[in-house]
Amino acid sequence: MGAQVALRGHIVSFKGDPFFSPTDEVFVDINDGLVIIRDGIIHEVGQYSELIGHIDNISAVINYPDCIITAGFIDTHVHYVQTPIIASFGEHLIDWLNKYTFPEEGRFADPAYAAAVAKIFFDELLRNGTTSALTFCSVFPESVDAFFNESLQRNMRMIGGKVLMDRNAPPAVLDTAQSGYDDSKALIKKWHERGRNRYAITPRFAPTSTEEQLLAAATLHREYPSTLIQTHISENVSEVSWVRSLFPERHGYLDVYDHAGLLGPGTVLAHGVHLTENERERCAETKTAVAHCPTSNFFLGSGLFPMHQAKNPTHPIRVGLGTDIGGGTRFSLLETMGEAYKVGELTSYPLDGVKLFYLATLGGAEVLGIADKVGSVEVGKEADLVVLDPRATPLLAFRYNQTTSTSEQIFLLAIMGDDRTVAATYIAGQLAYNRKNSGTAV
Ligand code: GUN
Ligand code: ZN
């Protein structure tokens, strides 16, 4: 039997996509709301005054005065195995991979090290209000076991997979097309749909996989069509030219994946900063999604993701937000929203608070194919929720007092919020993180 609890606060959620529907049709805004949770599932959502009579058998009503209750944040692209190398100085993508990333990922053959980092990673997710993530592990199956073990213990809805890479990296972190296929298959059998976990087939990116390996990854996905596929694409201009020279017979970067049979509604491509218009059209046509990772794109000097083109109404792409730790610099999806806003400003496509919160919640859930389970504060969904405190710091509280609308309030949180703003995180209705002094029983 799961949690029986009710949360009182300002509920903010979505029942549609604000990029293509008027805000008043898709934005849910309940100023003094109540979420009633039974057995870990959202049972009722509405005005506190209307629902307070419905709380028989509820063990506790937790009051979060002035706080915003929203669906837990969803990180559509992150590498747990890069937690130890966040903020490694001075390189662009390919040198950064060679100098910092590959040596670090080599340490994850050790199950004890992998378990220790997984614990830190999950603690950080929860401290930042992130309740689901699509995650790269390393090439070693041990790193995947550590990841899913930790997720299972915390009852989280997580997706991850073993990196496939059979060339252009140090031998210590390479597999082969056959061993990568075999190891991934064994991991799918062990972890896919166990607890709330799902598996993602994970070719790192075209430069580190032979065509044989990309084809094997696609074969595996056909054998297990409910798995996801995750990889990187068109993050950095040198990477794009490298792929052209490695695959001269293909029309471009996306065509390498397309030709191998790796595109489709279960595929999430990280970055896509330098995709061409034709490639974006092909993503839309195949329902392939993209993870926008602004802190990483700034940190590695990769470029500005053109959200306005990704959301072209004639061929829109599903887009989520990714932290891309450790190319990215923040676990916080609030801070990631703030950086996405700045990218929008630099590309003449300002994103308001409603769109930013959508990207980090329901939009992310749609990218990961889990919107039937999580992503909004809606009856029947799993109660993965975050409570945000708009008075978390003196300056936030001062500025919050000047706001006159919910859209202003959530924009303020997107621009100035961070881990301090997260008062509590609930997983399937259970309190999984509680900042000191937050929430009072009523
Ligand atoms: N492209 C291929 N591998 C990686 C990685 O680990 N991080 C980032 N940011 N880009 C990549
Ligand atoms: Zn990445």
- The answer to whether position 165 is within a domain reads yes
Say what the pLDDT of residue 2 is: 55
Regarding whether 282 and 217 lie in a shared domain, the answer is yes
Return averaged pLDDT per consecutive 10 residues of the chain, 442 residues in all: 83 98 98 97 97 83 96 99 97 97 98 98 98 99 98 98 98 98 99 98 98 98 98 98 98 98 99 98 98 98 98 97 98 98 97 98 98 98 98 98 98 98 98 86 66
pLDDT at 53: 87
Q: 123 and 55, same structural domain?
A: no
Which phi and psi angles does 9 have, rounded to 5°? 175, -165
Residue 122 · residue 116 · CB < 8 Å:
no
How far, in Å, from the CA of 270 to the mean position of ligand 1?
8
Alpha-carbon gap, residue 185 to 175, rounded angstroms: 14
Structural domain for 399, as ranges = 4-72+376-441
Position 363 in a domain: no
**E strand intervals along 80-197:** 130-136, 159-161, 163-164
Given a contact cutoff of 8 angstroms between Cβ atoms, the answer to whether 250 and 259 are in contact is yes
Rounded Cα distance between 308 and 316, Å, is 9
Cβ of 137 closer than 6 Å to ligand 1, yes or no, is no
Q: Is residue 342 part of a domain?
A: no
Atom number of ligand 1 nearest to Cα 327: 9
- Which pTM does this prediction carry? 0.98
Q: Which domain-ending residue is among 304, 331, 358? A: 331
**CATH code assigned at 142:** 3.20.20.140
Quote helix, strand, coil % in the chain, to nearest 5: 40, 25, 35
Establish if 339 belongs to a structural domain: no
State in Å: Cα 292 to ligand 2 middle: 10
Do 41 and 92 belong together in one domain?
no
- Please check whether residue 338 lies inside any domain of the structure: no
Instruction: Assess whether the C-beta atom of 302 lies below 6 angstroms from ligand 1.
Output: no
For residues 294 and 423, membership in a common domain is answered with: no
| 245 and 112 inside one domain | yes
Residues 173, 240: one domain?
A: yes
CATH number of domain containing 65: 2.30.40.10
* 130 found inside a domain: yes
Our count of domains for the chain comes to 2
For ligand 1, say whether the CB of 355 is within 6 Å of any of its atoms: no
Using alpha carbons, select from 131, 27, 33 the residue that is nearest to residue 375. Answer: 131
